[in-house]
Amino acid sequence: MTDPLMKVRLDHLENLKAHGIDPYPARLPAVEPIGGVVERHTDDGPDEHVAIAGRLVSFRRMGKASFFDLRDSTGKIQVHATVDRLGEEGYSLLCESDIGDFLSVSGPVFRTKRGELTVGAEEWTFLA
């Protein structure tokens, strides 16, 4: 790792600690595989609340809302996060996540106007 990149990562780690977030929690929230969520939602069935975890592989910030993708060994899913659902501090901390971080997210499953299966983040936890 290059020195500037190492400094960015260490600053991110210190910021998490300063906000009372354990960057390496001992316990993982109860989650299900992303592939299972995707399999169950092949049609426009009723919304369901799910909890998932995965590696952050992309992040698209658009002001007070963001879309990001989480991937685990079974698949990938889009997550939609907003200031309204997470609060200013929760949303701000989430937006400071780096590609490659592990996160857990819980919230309702829905399809966007473009048909993309998405989890609406109501809660999130930094895992590593």
**pLDDT of res. 83:** 96
Q: Would you say residue 2 lies in a domain?
A: no
CATH of the domain at 47: 2.40.50.140
**pLDDT of res. 42:** 75
Dihedral sign for Cα atoms in the order 88, 31, 13, 1: negative
Dihedral sign for Cα atoms in the order 105, 71, 3, 60: negative
Domains: count for the chain: 1
Q: Would you say residue 86 lies in a domain?
A: yes
**pLDDT of res. 113:** 92
Q: Would you say residue 7 lies in a domain?
A: no
Structure token pair of residue 121: 């983040």
**pLDDT of res. 61:** 92
Reported as a pLDDT band with limits 50, 70 and 90, residue 99 is: very high
Task: Enumerate the H helices of 41-96 as residue ranges.
Answer: 83-95
Q: Would you say residue 5 lies in a domain?
A: no
Cβ contact 36:77 at 8 Å: no
Longest dimension (CA), the chain: 49
Per-residue pLDDT tens for 27-72?
Answer: 777 899 999 999 988 776 667 899 999 999 999 998 899 999 999 9
Please give the residue range of the domain that contains residue 87: 25-126
Cβ contact 67:110 at 8 Å: no
The answer to whether residue 12 scores a pLDDT higher than 80 is no
Name the average pLDDT for the chain: 89
Q: Would you say residue 122 lies in a domain?
A: yes
- Taking the C-alpha atoms of residue 78 and residue 112, their distance in angstroms, rounded to an integer, is 10
